[in-house]
Structure 1
Amino acid sequence: MTTATTTRHAAGVADAVKVYGSGDTAVRALDGVSVGFPAGRFTAIMGPSGSGKSTLMHCAAGLDTLTSGAAFIGDTPLSTLDDRRLTLLRRDRVGFVFQAFNLIPTLTVAENITLPLDLAGAKGSREWIDALVDVVGLRDRLHHRPAELSGGQQQRVAVARAFAGRPDVVFADEPTGNLDSRSGEEVLNLLGRAVRRMDRTVVMVTHDPVAAAHADEVVFLADGRLVDRMESPTADKVLDRMKAFDTKGGRS
């Protein structure tokens, strides 16, 4: 006898449509996308420029609203939340890592990491923060300020800050875009360790096949539609799939 298992999704969208503008100038950035991002997994979103990958992330994270369809964090449909409750959800259940590090220059590394908790008036678990500091490898930098750190170290602080409140999901938008290849590799390995050693969930938008190869799965968008999924990606397999978009004349 076989037992069916149900995948729990940390976030996702259903029949997602996003249209910018109107009339002849309207742009359909998402065109009926349905995709779930499994909890405890590292998912990368890829596609040609203009494919809708960043729009998908922004709508799934509650940073932008859909024209139609639904976006969820866990079992919570974002469209049912007013501005205040949506803000609280993003604060308490979602973490963000962006290409720009967005650290507060006057705060130390330790203060930057715990900033979301401090702003929320919450007391995070000391054990959790200590474990997080060890995972990101910043214990000897806790009293430094951002200007005293390399770019890679600053992004590691940003990653630690994103995970500090134990969010349901962390969205990373081109997190290695401002880093050299070695620092980028360190940050990607860090995201992977957070998923596998701390049971976190990461959804990352990237244009880089090498970055995508760090994920458990890659979802591919083209012209605002979900066109493929790839388990256990490698850089070569992802690159080959992206070349197929060029061959088929995907929108640039």
Structure 2
Amino acid sequence: MPRPRTATAPHHAVQFADDSAVAAQAVDASKIYGSGPTAVRALDGLDVSFARGQFTAVMGPSGSGKSTLMHCMAGLDTLTSGGVVIDDVPLADLSERELTLLRRDRVGFIFQAYNLVPTLTAYENIVLPRRLGAREVDREWLDEVVEAVGLTDRLSHRPSELSGGQQQRVAVARALAGHPSIVFADEPTGNLDSRTGDEILQFMGTAVRQLGQTIVMVTHDPVAASYSDRVVFLVDGRIVNEMSNPQADDVLDVMKHLGD
């Protein structure tokens, strides 16, 4: 469940970059939980952008603000101050209904838990969000997605008939099925063994390279991060480092020295 919304600073005070190559960005993003001496500043004036067609990993120690950043970027939680845009649409401009529609039509989600409906087939689970929103399914696009994640011969199977890796493939396909502007993934391989996790990360990379998707993944795993194009490192709600074309050993070395 999303956290309760908090007061948001007027978005018109926030100057967003005018860049069509950016799928989503946050400017001067701050998020404070509580008040007074017990207040927790989860995000502290953070600026970040996520380019279209790029796979970005977000890393940091526990409590660094990784999940808070993802939730605020995805419109599941609201900033205390600063602003977020997706597809050049400031989230602070939107009513609750408009925000719900934006999340449905422009944002995909992949979580550790597969969240599949056990009585539905893989295909029915993949298209369920589209059906619930009375939206047409683009069969040509869906065929590309299904082939990319290797589910062509599993569409008639129910979750109980699929392995954990296959279930997560269904969850990945479901996130991609609506051709969202951006997909947010929260520890998507956390419940999988390393071999199956590697397969899922390869599929996500394929979605970026072959299908042009934009993916932002929160992870604590340097190996998972090595599948991305770019890693952003957070400490205490601020970005303290970035890395392009990451290698697992290099990511691990940065993680060891965060906060030094």
| TM-score in same-fold range (> 0.5) | yes
Letter in 1 for 2:131: D
With normalisation by structure 2, the TM-score equals 0.92
Q: Percent identity?
A: 66
What is the deviation of 1:7? 6.6
2:159 pairs with 1:125:
no
2:255 pairs with 1:239:
no
C-alpha separation between the residues in 2 aligned to 1:178 and 1:11?
28
2:106 pairs with 1:96:
no
C-alpha separation between the residues in 2 aligned to 1:157 and 1:32?
36
- Give the match for residue 208 of structure 1: 221
Equivalent residue for 1:54, pick from 67, 87, 90: 67
- Give the match for residue 3 of structure 1: none
* SS of equivalent to 1:139: coil
* SS of equivalent to 1:114: helix
C-alpha separation between the residues in 1 aligned to 2:146 and 2:20?
30
Equivalent residue for 2:36, pick from 23, 30, 40: 23
Equivalent residue for 1:199, pick from 197, 212, 217: 212
What is the deviation of 1:194? 0.1
Letter in 1 for 2:33: Y
Equivalent residue for 2:201, pick from 188, 195, 199: 188
C-alpha separation between the residues in 2 aligned to 1:8 and 1:16?
20
2:174 pairs with 1:169:
no
> How many residues were matched structurally?
242
Flag as ranges the 4+ runs of structure 1 deviating above 6 A. none
- Give the match for residue 95 of structure 2: 82
Q: Deviations over 1:71-128 (max 9, x none)?
A: 1112001011010000000000000000000001110000001111111111121111
The runs of 5 or more residues in structure 1 that have no matched partner are 1-5
The runs of 5 or more residues in structure 2 that have no matched partner are 1-18
C-alpha separation between the residues in 2 aligned to 1:207 and 1:173?
10
Q: Deviations over 1:174-222 (max 9, x none)?
A: 0000000011001000000000000010000000000000000000000
C-alpha separation between the residues in 2 aligned to 1:124 and 1:228?
40
